Structure 1
């Protein structure tokens, strides 16, 4: 059920670890990076709720409810992964980012709802943890690919000025194949059960039409259950922090730790490859921690587990400012990995406990507004903040991200988790 996430994360990890590198190589300045990355959250804002809404109302005798969306997303994402590293101009790379991110969202949101569809509440924490495991495993491999191709296979890590290194190109090609293969494995090897009210949902779909459906998707933000509203604040600061990290880690590490901003130099590309290793480490930690989180959550509750993980990640991002040895970056990534594992599982486990089954995909899509909105905010203000207050020094973006993640952790204290309430009721009845 979750194996397709292995492939999805190949695309997501290659994007996170290499897009800023590609943009800088094609001539983008540091303060332009957030705006160029705007493609990612905007496509999510448009695609996620629409796909969630329509995947709730889809049923095919052979293909099921969610799996048609898995397949379409996989085909489009594979195309984008093959084309992006062959971009010859900055505008082309930006367009490919739009296509890649939209395609990932087409696959990913139905996968989230898929677990909610198929598992009872008591198994969902473990189900989302299994997703986190495959996400971590895929990201370990994908993030490390440029370094592996350079150091194990001797593939060139430097291209003429304005070109993309061959090590990056081959990483994207392998990523495309892995994305398609893993997602289609899930498509062909899982079985979905038709929802009891599918005919009613299809009738609603036909009566409202596409514009009515779109309108309902976007007004859903004003109809969120109480716990969903509380989690939205946590998500906002969590994903603001992550976006700052994904945009600026390459620039921060190459300039702050390696001491260069020359994208055509061997030292810059060595540092950029090492960022891939750092991202592989935090995803590897996430894959391992994914199985520990449900155990901790049973002891201290899901919201406290999430609080501890986010605070750990926030202080780890802050610590990068004090690091001069590249190897020590791997230590900092341990805390980031703990936070990432929790971000991928705990909010969804808490949320799925209070959502109606027939609208699981719809609400998962609406909830993802609070992944993409903070990214849009980050894209709008991070470049301005760095240029205006921090002399375009990228390391300060990671400091801002660290503070945001700590705030997200503290906001977990306002979340009312239904699972906690149920457990307390059971204890009282005993």
Structure 2
């Protein structure tokens, strides 16, 4: 009998507590996604350099997530459990990085801190995906991932709006001084560091963990698997041994994340150029565009928080595949539509479609995958699955700058539209995936 089918159903508040840490984690990711290109540009980066400078994010994910997944699978402490030590350590390091990022005085410093920040966020985030597989039976796994998506959306809405709130509500300066980072961005990162740490700490203190079914066997297997050589062989060998469903989802993820990476890298410069009429990162108009992109990102994340609880209902009525396909096509076409919009208020409309796609991206692939994985290797395979999140970002980082310069004449709005087309293609490719898991709940 699959152990995941015999686990007790958790209450709403138990699901809440075990997922609340994602509220803080997404504070970190949202501040990174909405402001990193803005910080790089303010410190002197050219648009064609941005994808290469962003490589820190996917490369650290490629290295960190499978290793942390493997280590957390092979960790057990009577008090700390299996995943929670990694939640705590990652949160502490990520909070420090969030305080350091807006104090970068040179481009190389900001890039170095991005490496540290993304690695630390990944240490906290990866075990959260396996946490759902550990604690929930198959009938609650979609609901568990939906609860995570809800907190991801809520955290991202607030974090994305922080520079605007500091500027418009509290009167903090949004203008760079002597080439430095505006105070609106600086204070936003300080707030994000605090929220990240305390939200993850809430989950660490309020959520328990289930011990391995056979503790003696677990300890014996852990003893046999000691050594970094064995660990690396296991981690990267997983690419050759992954379940069929995982391989099919990998194709979908590849094209999905090209679209997302293009959006995160180029939204600020695209909106500044296409709507605010400037490419000068030191100008007030460019910084205003940066704040408006934060508002746009808040919209898509807010929509995703609401959609997180609606999508499982549609999945029960149709299938998880149909829901994911529909959401990705809607999101992709919405990104493409930004190319044709030159009014900043109208830019909020396509963010609704992107939010629907984002909710599905954070829920459906993991719910489909969790039902196809062996319970005792949940963290390991979730880490390996992250390869198909970061590899397309690395490919994008290496190629999008060249494409933008040589095919689109430096106009990043065209690169944004290309990303949307890639996401729509990912939606169509969803139909090749075989979902063998229990019905969504």
TM-score (norm 2): 0.94
- In the TM superposition, residue 260 of structure 1 has moved relative to its aligned partner by 0.4
1:281-326: CA deviation from partner (whole Å, max 9, x where unpaired): 0000000000000000001100000000000000000000110110
Whether 1:275 aligns to 2:286 is no
User: 2:30 matched to which residue of 1?
Assistant: 13
Indicate which of 176, 181, 187 corresponds to 1:164. 181
- Whether the 8 Å contact between 1:76 and 1:103 is mirrored in structure 2 is yes
* In structure 1, C-alpha distance between the alignment counterparts of 2:115 and 2:229, rounded to whole Å: 22
User: 1:49 matched to which residue of 2?
Assistant: 66
- In the TM superposition, residue 198 of structure 1 has moved relative to its aligned partner by 4.3
User: 1:427 matched to which residue of 2?
Assistant: none
User: 2:373 matched to which residue of 1?
Assistant: 355
- Whether the 8 Å contact between 2:339 and 2:413 is mirrored in structure 1 is yes
User: 1:179 matched to which residue of 2?
Assistant: 196
Structure 2: gaps (5+ residues): 1-17
Q: How does 1:113-132 map to 2 (within 5 A)?
A: 113-132=130-149
1:178-225: CA deviation from partner (whole Å, max 9, x where unpaired): 000000000001111101244434434433312211221011011111
Output the aligned Cα RMSD. Answer: 1.0
Indicate which of 300, 304, 318 corresponds to 1:286. 304
Indicate which of 108, 124, 141 corresponds to 1:91. 108
Distance 1:230 1:314, change over 3 A: same
Q: How does 1:121-270 map to 2 (within 5 A)?
A: 121-208=138-225, 209-270=227-288
Q: How does 1:337-376 map to 2 (within 5 A)?
A: 337-376=355-394
Q: Secondary structure at the match of 1:81?
A: helix
* In structure 1, C-alpha distance between the alignment counterparts of 2:322 and 2:90, rounded to whole Å: 35
Indicate the larger mover: 207-216 or 371-380: 207-216
Indicate which of 23, 40, 56 corresponds to 2:40. 23
- In the TM superposition, residue 278 of structure 1 has moved relative to its aligned partner by 0.3
TM-score (norm 1): 0.97
- In the TM superposition, residue 264 of structure 1 has moved relative to its aligned partner by 1.6
User: 1:36 matched to which residue of 2?
Assistant: 53
Q: Secondary structure at the match of 1:344?
A: helix
* In structure 2, C-alpha distance between the alignment counterparts of 1:336 and 1:290, rounded to whole Å: 13
User: 1:76 matched to which residue of 2?
Assistant: 93
- In the TM superposition, residue 161 of structure 1 has moved relative to its aligned partner by 3.9
* In structure 2, C-alpha distance between the alignment counterparts of 1:190 and 1:351, rounded to whole Å: 23
User: 1:107 matched to which residue of 2?
Assistant: 124
* In structure 2, C-alpha distance between the alignment counterparts of 1:392 and 1:203, rounded to whole Å: 57
* In structure 2, C-alpha distance between the alignment counterparts of 1:142 and 1:198, rounded to whole Å: 41
* In structure 2, C-alpha distance between the alignment counterparts of 1:188 and 1:196, rounded to whole Å: 23
Indicate which of 325, 328, 331 corresponds to 1:313. 331
Q: Secondary structure at the match of 1:58?
A: coil
Indicate the larger mover: 204-213 or 320-329: 204-213
Q: Secondary structure at the match of 1:345?
A: helix
Q: How does 1:53-64 map to 2 (within 5 A)?
A: 53-64=70-81
Equivalent pairs counted in the alignment come to 421
Whether 1:3 aligns to 2:20 is yes
User: 1:333 matched to which residue of 2?
Assistant: 351
Whether 1:418 aligns to 2:436 is yes
- In the TM superposition, residue 280 of structure 1 has moved relative to its aligned partner by 0.4
1:163-190: CA deviation from partner (whole Å, max 9, x where unpaired): 0000000000000000000000000011
Moved over 3 A (4+): 197-208
- Whether the 8 Å contact between 2:212 and 2:218 is mirrored in structure 1 is no
- Whether the 8 Å contact between 1:256 and 1:395 is mirrored in structure 2 is yes
Distance 1:199 1:87, change over 3 A: farther
- Whether the 8 Å contact between 1:57 and 1:198 is mirrored in structure 2 is no
* In structure 2, C-alpha distance between the alignment counterparts of 1:370 and 1:178, rounded to whole Å: 29
1:365-421: CA deviation from partner (whole Å, max 9, x where unpaired): 0000000000000001000101111111110111110110011000011011113xx
Structure 1: gaps (5+ residues): 424-430
